[in-house]
Amino acid sequence: MGEVNRVTVRIYGQEYTISGEMSREHIIRVADYVDGKMTEISKVMPTATAVSLAVLSAVNAADDYYTILEENQALQSRCVQLEKDTAHYVQLWDESKRNFLQYKEDAQSSLEHKDQLQKLFNEKAVECSRLSAAYADLKKQQEMLLSQNEEMHQKLQKQELSGGESESEEQIRELTLRCKDIESSFFDLQMENIRLKGELDQYRKNME
């Protein structure tokens, strides 16, 4: 047991000696509370006896106690709910952090994938430019051969009219074969160019 304090207090004009393990300050504060209650009630009921005032003060004190007790229980329930809410928000925060980290990883992966697609796109664009240049060059060669072929046909017609040898026929056949080869290469380049353009369009869509 702790040390017992004996304190003399005045309640409603009478002195009382109160003993208890509580501190002197606490005992005085309790006595002042009871004295204040009895004084407050006596102003409303000036004819009431000290015993009646004491009982009414005890009832008021009990009412204050249970009111505070109920408020305390409500606060405890509120604290429990706040703890649950806090745990829920902490869980949401952890999930948000995990989602954010996953988003960063996905974003980094997307950037790397986009860089790879950009590199492939650039390579295909260079190849497409090369094929376009080769296509233009073959087209010029084809036009030149067609022109030469036309000239040879004209010469052949002149030789036939003049009764000359048909030496140009062989040349015309060679030019015709060369034209067919160029047309074949021309067609292959066209198909390759179409394929590359399709791949470039697909890379461009993937990078968007």
Residue 198 CA to its chain's centroid (Å)? 33
**Mean per-residue pLDDT over the chain, rounded:** 83
Averaged pLDDT for residues 82-93: 93
Q: Each residue of 108-126: pLDDT tens digit?
A: 888 888 788 888 888 877 8
Angle at 83 between CA 78 and CA 88, to 5 degrees: 125
Q: Does domain 111-207 have CATH number 1.10.287?
A: yes
Q: Which structure tokens are listed for 148?
A: 């030469």
Q: Which two tokens stand for residue 133?
A: 């240049």
- pLDDT tens-digit readout, 135-194: 777 778 777 777 776 776 676 666 666 655 455 566 667 777 777 777 777 677 778 778
- What pLDDT, in 10s, does the model give residues 100-109? 999 988 888 8
- Domain extent listing, the chain: 1-48, 111-207
Question: Whole-model pTM?
Answer: 0.45
Average pLDDT, integer, range 52-59: 93
* CATH topology for the 1-48 domain: Double Stranded RNA Binding Domain (3.30.160)
Angle ∠(132,137,142) on CA atoms, nearest 5 = 120
Chain-centre distance for alpha carbon 88: 20
User: Contacts by 4-7 with C-beta closer than 8 Å and gap 24+?
Assistant: 7/31
